[in-house]
Amino acid sequence: MSTPLEALMIGVSGLRGTVGGTLTPQVALRMSSAFACWLKQNYKPLNDKYFRVVVGRDGRPSGPFVRDAVFSGLMASGVEVIDLDVVTTPGVAMMVRHTRADAGIVITASHNPIQWNGIKLLTRDSVAPPSGAVAQIRKLYDESANSYERVQQLVQPSRNTETHALHVKRILDYVDVNGIASKRFKVVLDSVNGAGCIVTSTLLSKLGCNLVHLNNTPNGQFPHEPEPIVENLSGLAEQVKRHHASIGFAQDPDADRLAIIDERGTYIGEEYSLALCAWWLFSKNPGGVAVTNLSTSRMIDDIAKRYYGKVVRTPVGEANVVDVMIREKAIVGGEGNGGVIDLRIVPGRDSLVGMAYVLQLMADTGKKVSELVEEIPRYQIVKTKFECRREDANRVVEALKRHFADEKVDLQDGIRIDWSDAWVHARPSNTEPIMRIIAEAPTRESAEQKIAKVQEIVRSVL
C-alpha cells in the first residue's frame, strides 16, 4: 500500500512513482497506452503508415519491468517500438530525430533515489510535451483510454545500438579534439552507476583525458543519493584531491545534469556548468544569444556582456528554453540545475556537452577551473518554498506586482523582480501545490533579505 509520500506524480516531467507502491506494471501500461492515444489524436505518422517511438532507460533495477509494460501498451496500439536499451536522456532525445520517430520515452526518475522510477515523454521535436498536451495525456490516462489494434496492424519491435557512438561523434564534431587531448587532463568522473557510464567514458577517452571513473557500472545501484548537489559529492571531491586531478565531474542517473568539482576539491555547483560553457561558446560567437529560465543565475548575463551578446529568459522548463532557443537561433541554452543545451547536438540538457565544452574552455585559456571561476562575478542563491494553492499563488503574484511596480518585473512565470545587483523569482510549482521563492544577490545575507521582503507580502495576502 502506498503512502502520501509515495504519491504518483504526473506533470511536465512525465510520470514518477515509487516502485511497488504507486508505480506498477499496470500504471506503466496505462500511461504508454494513453500516450499512444494522444499521438493518434494529434498527429499523423511521419512514415504515413504507423507511429514509431524510441524507448531508452537508465540502469535502475526496476527499469526492465517498466520498459516491458511500456512496450506492451505501445505495441498493442500498433506502434513500432525501437528499443535503445540503457542510454542517457539526451541520447534518447537525439535518437528521436535520428530515427525519424514520432516520439520518445525515457524510463527514468532522473535524480530521485532508487525507490523511484518514471516515464518521461518526448514529442517528435525531442522535448517534453507542452502543458496543454500534458493535460490531454493526463485526461486519457485518468480515463484508462486505449487504442489497441487487431493483429494485422501490429508492428514488430526493433533494437538500435547506435546511440552512444552517434552521441560521442556529434560532440567531437564541435570541439578541438587535438587541442583538448594535448593537455592530458586528469578527470575524476562520478557516473553514480547511471546511464552515462559507458558513453561518457568513451567521450573522455576520445578527448585524451586520463580518467578516474567512479561508480561506473550502469546497474542503477546508487552508491550515494544520486542528485549531484554538494552534500552528495564529498567522495568525488576527496578523489579529485587524492588524484591531483584537473577537474571532477558528477552526473545524475540519466546524465542530463552536470556538477563540477574544481582542482582543489571544491564543489563549485551546477550553476557554473552553464556559465562556463556559455563563456566558451560566446568567445567563438560574439554577439550571440543565450537562452535560460528565470530562475538561473545572472552569471550568464555577465558573460554575455563581455562578448556583446544577450540573454533571453523563459519560464522554467526545458521545453520552454528549447522553444525560445530555436526562435532566437541561440548559440547556447540551459538551466541552472547543470543542464547545458546545444541544439546542434541534442535539443535538451546534456552533461556530455557540458564536460566537453568546459574542457575546451580550460584548454583554450590555459586556466584551471578555480581560476575561471574567479573571473566570473560571484553570487549567492537562496531558495525556499511554502504550501500554496494555484489561486492563492495568483493573488500573491498580483500583490507583488503592485508592491514592486517601480522595479523591473517579468511575469512570464509567476513574477521575477530585478534590481541592479539582485533578483527574486516567486513562482507556483507545475507539479505540486507549493510556491517557490528563489533569490540571488552578491551575498547570502542580501539574498535572504530579498526573500524576507517577498515573504512579508505573502503573509499579508494569505
232 and 310 assigned to the same domain? yes
Angle at 46 between CA 42 and CA 51, to 5 degrees: 65
Q: What pLDDT does residue 126 have?
A: 94
Q: What is the pLDDT of residues 41-90, one digit of tens each?
A: 999 999 999 999 999 999 999 999 999 999 999 999 999 999 999 999 99
CB 370 within 8 A of CB 262: yes
Q: What pLDDT does residue 462 have?
A: 84
Q: How far is CA 320 from CA 17, 292, 295, 335, in A?
A: 24, 9, 13, 11
295: annotated active-site residue: no
C-alpha cell at 341: 543545451
367 and 396 assigned to the same domain? no
Tell me the average pLDDT across 248-277: 96
Residue 255 has pLDDT above 80, yes or no: yes
Domain finish residue from 134, 160, 186: 160
310 and 390 assigned to the same domain? no
Q: What is the pLDDT of residues 77-104, one digit of tens each?
A: 999 999 999 999 999 999 999 999 999 9
Model confidence at 5, pLDDT cuts 50, 70, 90, reads low
C-alpha cell at 327: 526562435
> What residues form DSSP beta bridges with 425?
416, 438
User: CA 304, CA 77: separation in Å to the nearest integer?
Assistant: 48
Higher pLDDT, 462 or 427: 427
- Encoded amino acid at 456, one letter: E
92 and 180 assigned to the same domain? no
Higher pLDDT, 387 or 161: 161
27 and 144 assigned to the same domain? yes
183 and 130 assigned to the same domain? no
Domain finish residue from 374, 399, 423: 374
CB 57 within 8 A of CB 107: yes
* Domain carrying residue 143: 4-160
C-alpha cell at 451: 526573500
C-alpha cell at 9: 506524480
CB 413 within 8 A of CB 427: yes
Give me the CATH number covering residue 419: 3.30.310.50
153 and 183 assigned to the same domain? no
Residue 6 has pLDDT above 80, yes or no: no
Residue 116 has pLDDT above 70, yes or no: yes
Q: Which residue has the cell 502520501?
A: 4
User: CA 337, CA 256: separation in Å to the nearest integer?
Assistant: 10
DSSP state of 128: P
C-alpha cell at 42: 494529434
- Mean pLDDT, all residues of the chain: 95
Q: What is the pLDDT of residues 381-396, one digit of tens each?
A: 999 999 888 889 999 9
User: CA 379, CA 398: separation in Å to the nearest integer?
Assistant: 28
50 and 195 assigned to the same domain? no
Give me the CATH number covering residue 134: 3.40.120.10
DSSP secondary structure, 398-415, as one string: HHHHHHTTTSEEE-SSSE
Q: At residue 225, what are phi and psi to the nearest 5 degrees?
A: -55, 130
Q: From the candidates 33, 77, 110, 126, which is the catalytic residue?
A: 110
Higher pLDDT, 336 or 263: 263
Domain finish residue from 374, 390, 405: 374
- How many contiguous H segments (helices) and E segments (strands) does the chain have? 15, 20
Q: What is the pLDDT of residues 16-43, one digit of tens each?
A: 999 999 999 999 999 999 999 999 999 9
Residue 1 has pLDDT above 50, yes or no: no
185 and 268 assigned to the same domain? yes
313 and 185 assigned to the same domain? yes
Residue 2 has pLDDT above 70, yes or no: no
Q: What is the pLDDT of residues 143-156, one digit of tens each?
A: 999 999 999 999 99
In the chain, how many domains are there?
Answer: 3
73 and 155 assigned to the same domain? yes
Tell me the average pLDDT across 440-453: 96
334 and 200 assigned to the same domain? yes
Q: What pLDDT does residue 86 have?
A: 97
Tell me the average pLDDT across 206-219: 97
User: CA 148, CA 60: separation in Å to the nearest integer?
Assistant: 29
